[in-house]
Chain A
C-alpha cells in the first residue's frame, strides 16, 4: 500500500507554454501533499505544501503565480508550471502522507517524479 503516482513521467515543452503535472495517491487518502524540485546531484527543495480544499502554502522564494497548485480531492494534487522557461527545467517530485497514519511519524511516500524540459 501507500503508492503515489505522477503523470507524466517526463515532458518536453516550448518556452512560454504551461505544463500540468498530476500527483495521485492510489490507495490512500491524503489531506496534505508536498511538491519538491530536485536539481541534478542535489537535495530536494520543498516548493509548497498542498492542502485539500484550501490554498497551498508556498516556501519562501517560490512564485505562487508561476507554480499553481490545486488539491481538488483527497487523492489528487496538480502542479501547473505557467509560462515555462528553460530555467524551470528540473525534476519535480510529489509526496503524500496517508491520513490514516497522521501523527508524529509524518512519514511521506513519494511519487516517481516528472522530468520537465523546457526548450
Chain B
C-alpha cells in the first residue's frame, strides 16, 4: 500500500543554517505530494505541493522537488529562521477521487537564535 517515510526528529539548527528534511514515499500510480507545517499552538497549514514528476513546490523560502526516480520529496531551505520552528509533515494523495492523505510521522524543527 501507499506510505510515507520521513526522517525522524527532532532537528535542531542555528539561525541561517541550511535545512533538509528527507521524505520518501511508496505509491502506485502518480500521487500528489505535499508538505504541511504545524506551528506551535496552531493548525496545519499547507506549505507547498507538487502534483507531477519533476515539479518543484516552493513557498516562504522552502522548496521540494518531486523525484519519481528516487520516490522522494525532500524539503529544503537555504537559511532557516527562528520563526520556522514547527513540525513538518510530508504527505501524499493517490491519484483518484478518494482524497485521502497518507501522512509521514512529522519532523520537529527547532531553530535557535
Contact = CB atoms under 8 A, between A and B. Distances in A.
Nearest to A2: B46
B32 interface: yes
A102 interface: yes
Interface in B79-113: 89, 93, 95-101, 103-106, 108
Main SS of chain B's interface residues? loop
A25 interface: no
Contacts of A105: 32, 49, 51, 93
Contacts of B46: 107-109
Main SS of chain A's interface residues? loop
B99 A112 contact: no
B99 A106 contact: yes
B44 interface: yes
Interface in B17-58: 30, 32, 34, 36, 42-46, 49, 51
Interface stretch (A14-22, A42-50, A68-76): A42-50
What's the interface size class on A, roughly? 20 to 34
Interface in A89-119: 93, 95, 97, 102, 104-113
Contacts of A32: 99
Which of A49, A106, A112 has most B Cβ within 10 Å? A106
A106 B93 contact: yes
B16 to A, nearest CB: 27
A8 B110 CA distance: 29
Contacts of A106: 32, 93, 99-101
Interface of A: 32, 34, 41-44, 46, 49, 93, 95, 97, 102, 104-113
Given A93-B44, A106-B99, A112-B43, 9 more contacts: A43-B103, A44-B89, A104-B30, A106-B101, A107-B49, A109-B46, A110-B43, A110-B44, A113-B43
Interface of B: 30, 32, 34, 36, 42-46, 49, 51, 89, 93, 95-101, 103-106, 108
